[in-house]
Amino acid sequence: MDMRQLADGFVRIWNADAPRELVDQIFLTDFVDHNPQPGQQKDGAEGIHQVLDVYHAAFPGLRATTDEVIVSDDRAVVRWTAVGTHEGDLLGIPATQREVRMTGIDILRVEDGLIVEHWGETNALQTMQQIGAI
């Protein structure tokens, strides 16, 4: 996989119908996540699986799309949008049945065709406002 395909794969893992094995295909098992999600208790690929479980339970039909990818040397920057309906508990916030639009930007460092480091920023304030938590 080239860098753009890895960045697109990173976005596709968030889709509710994405195969779970995709995480293991694009991430080094013990990659470093510099911005773990709230409540994430595990590191590496196991941590990503844990976070995906939380978001897929809260947004069972979640659909993420790649808006833009920029590649430079060993890094890919990906800007994405995800849309889903809040149908399950999200970090202690009960389902609201509201449609939510999330956006974010992630930086992925790639080595030997795998993501080995991740930095990311998601517009969490916007998400919390849309589900009425703020």
Tens place of pLDDT for every residue, the chain, 134 residues?
899 999 999 999 999 999 989 999 999 999 999 998 877 888 899 999 999 999 999 999 999 999 999 999 999 999 999 999 999 999 899 999 999 999 999 999 999 999 999 999 999 999 999 999 98
By the 8 A CB rule, do 80 and 67 touch?
yes
**C-alpha dist (Å) from residue 90 to 66, 67, 80, 128:** 23, 25, 20, 10
Task: Provide the residue ranges of all domains of the chain, joining segments of one domain with +.
Answer: 3-130
pTM to 2 decimal places:
0.92
Fold (topology level) of 3-130? Nuclear Transport Factor 2; Chain: A, (3.10.450)
The total of other beta-carbon atoms located within 10 Å of residue 127's CB is 20
pLDDT of residue 41: 83
Could you give the CA distance from residue 42 to residue 50 in angstroms, rounded to a whole number?
Answer: 7
As to burial, measured by CB atoms within 10 angstroms (0-12 exposed, 13-18 middle, 19+ buried), residue 11 is buried
What amino acid is encoded at 20 in this protein? R
According to DSSP, the residues that pair with 109 across neighbouring strands are 75, 117
